[in-house]
Structure 1
């Protein structure tokens, strides 16, 4: 809020605009620094209390990523002294920490594969590199909101308006997911299903296993070939509307698909409410706030943030990760889904820097690449951990 006042409040301030920005920028940076100090205290006290670095599950890793984004933002702020970046970097941090709070917060013992010092080096440096990518994403999105013509009627203008609006909608879907989970959790909603699975071993002997899965969101989608144990009624819905497709293996697949459906529903409702309130696209609402901001500053901040994060990510997500993989699993590379998507992320940002430096892709093209790159990062962090089974699935517990 203080960062928004520092930038957007210049229009209504009686002070000189630059003086207003400096004053509220200092207040905003001081407040966010106190938040970072509290987050660092949380991180180190949890580490000391548990005896293991708090990055072993989704709750711990995502809170660590939020802290890393604040560290990256603070470094970039000291370089450029631009309060405008806080308007987007801080909300991104809040969303990530809120997303982390959806997961179980208990300390979970490390599995044997994780009990190595290289885990600390690998995870922390990879997350710090991704944090700089997040800052680059924030600056890139701000650049798009600044330069896209939301009043234009040409085909190119409409295409740019659509994709910027879709980017904002995607962020709101994540926020909608958080709201939905906390709302139904606060209401104490529960549903439970049981699924029988038949397996035939190498000797041709068939065995049947029974698994149960608990839902905290009303079951629009139930697990494949399952029976309801208990379902609380919600808005007259006494049973699931759909069944997960047969190719979605695992009893938790239906619950994950159900979560995606609820995220889209809640996000769409929230987006529709905002459109109803403002009576215009959200990009067109934010665009006037960005007036007076030099787009070249945003372009430079986005590029420099990614340029700083790339070597850190290279060390953490590839080199240190391969050293740890060799110690933990006896091979440097195994085409695990997380490894593959980490490589895709690295190749994408390699292409970004190549196009930026060799082809002169600055401005609009560079901003779009910064936004797309962080979408890939989010899928690597969230999608691979929670959807695709692999050796890194433990972190999705």
Structure 2
């Protein structure tokens, strides 16, 4: 028996969740933009002060040594090497104005509220259908994105500097939720007979959701790692060439200065993908056991089985490459992103275009 009233509440909760995520995205973006503008203004002001000092006659008072960078207010900050990526961003949450919240902190509070409402939407969908809320593409998308946001909040609680990644995490989550609400949404309904009365529906698909969520989060971190590494290399080259105030990618370069260093992002990406790989491994194992119960064989070269195995192989190659000393950094991150491309293909094209036994998209 489907409770359509609860299903409507679930849909409403998810729509409001999208609105809150949009506001949080604006808040995180405003924080990055204001930080970038402030640093750009500080560098410009320091440069002007240095030029004005250079044009004045150099007089040295008696008993005083030559002027240093410390004599120019702000020159020390401007002269600091930007090649450290996030070293200039040591403050993960800029000080708010007196009596108010910073944009980042306000966005983080909105994100927490949106995630709670997101979980409410998923839970009410489960209550409305009296089953697990991941029987079709719509429910899989809403549940997996909720897991992404919960994982992100856990990381942010443990390491507050990771809040600066909010823009780049909420963006993909919003995209998936908008696709779910517009292209993949289906009415609340009971399970198809082939999925009823099977505990593997909970185990196999539940682990697959965690694996997919971690792959999304890992892909975001790996992408930022590639951008940050290129940004840092360009700044190092500029400093070595003798530029007084090296710049790279303009305003976006200042945004990257706000993010953690590429080495920090690489370590985080490796941890996320390590757990994701374990989840993909169990997804394959549990799927094979369920296939034995349902279809009488462990493996049948169904498109879904093949592409899940491809995902597993790519992530295994990434972990193996990352474990070797000569295959780290950008090259390893490229493998991680290749695995995510396979995840996207498996979830979209395989579910909607390629015919197979795993035809549970609900579309």
TM-score (norm 1): 0.61
Q: Render the CA deviation track for 1:194-215: whole Å, top value 9, x for unaligned.
A: xxxxxxxxxxxxxxxxxxxxxx
Higher strand share: 1
The aligned residue for residue 108 of structure 1 is 189
Instruction: Give the 3 Å change call, closer, same or farther, for CA 80–313 of structure 1 in structure 2.
Output: farther
The aligned residue for residue 243 of structure 1 is none
Residue of structure 1 aligned with 2:229, choices 147, 150, 167: 147
The aligned residue for residue 271 of structure 2 is 304
The aligned residue for residue 119 of structure 1 is 201
Which one is further off, 30-39 or 102-111?
Answer: 102-111
Structure 1 runs of 4+ off > 6 angstroms? 14-17
Q: Hey, what's the Cα distance between the residues in 1 that align with 2:190 and 2:175? A: 27
The aligned residue for residue 54 of structure 1 is 133
Q: Hey, what's the Cα distance between the residues in 1 that align with 2:229 and 2:142? A: 32
Q: Hey, what's the Cα distance between the residues in 1 that align with 2:224 and 2:113? A: 25
Matched, 1:313 2:280: yes
Residue of structure 2 aligned with 1:136, choices 218, 221, 227: 218
The aligned residue for residue 11 of structure 1 is 36
TM-fit CA distance, 1:350 = 0.5
Q: Hey, what's the Cα distance between the residues in 2 that align with 1:114 and 1:335? A: 20
Residue of structure 2 aligned with 1:338, choices 304, 308, 319: 304
Q: Hey, what's the Cα distance between the residues in 2 that align with 1:8 and 1:299? A: 24
Instruction: Give the 3 Å change call, closer, same or farther, for CA 54–103 of structure 1 in structure 2.
Output: same
CA contact (8 A) 2:225 2:266 kept: yes
TM-fit CA distance, 1:396 = 4.9
Please tell me whether Structure 1 or Structure 2 has the larger radius of gyration of its CA atoms: 2
Matched, 1:85 2:165: yes
Which one is further off, 10-19 or 89-98?
Answer: 10-19
Q: Hey, what's the Cα distance between the residues in 2 that align with 1:36 and 1:354? A: 34
CA contact (8 A) 1:10 1:20 kept: no
Q: Hey, what's the Cα distance between the residues in 2 that align with 1:21 and 1:390? A: 52
Q: Hey, what's the Cα distance between the residues in 2 that align with 1:49 and 1:93? A: 24
Q: Render the CA deviation track for 1:325-347: whole Å, top value 9, x for unaligned.
A: 22222222111100110010011
The aligned residue for residue 20 of structure 2 is none
Which one is further off, 59-68 or 283-292?
Answer: 283-292
Q: Hey, what's the Cα distance between the residues in 2 that align with 1:41 and 1:322? A: 32
Which one is further off, 73-82 or 18-27?
Answer: 18-27
SS in 2 for 1:393: coil
The aligned residue for residue 192 of structure 1 is none
TM-fit CA distance, 1:79 = 3.8
Question: Structure 2: where are the runs of 5+ without partners?
Answer: 1-25, 43-87, 96-101, 235-248
TM-score (norm 2): 0.67
Instruction: Give the 3 Å change call, closer, same or farther, for CA 84–77 of structure 1 in structure 2.
Output: same
Which one is further off, 2-11 or 103-112?
Answer: 2-11
Aligned residues: 266
Q: Hey, what's the Cα distance between the residues in 1 that align with 2:362 and 2:232? A: 39
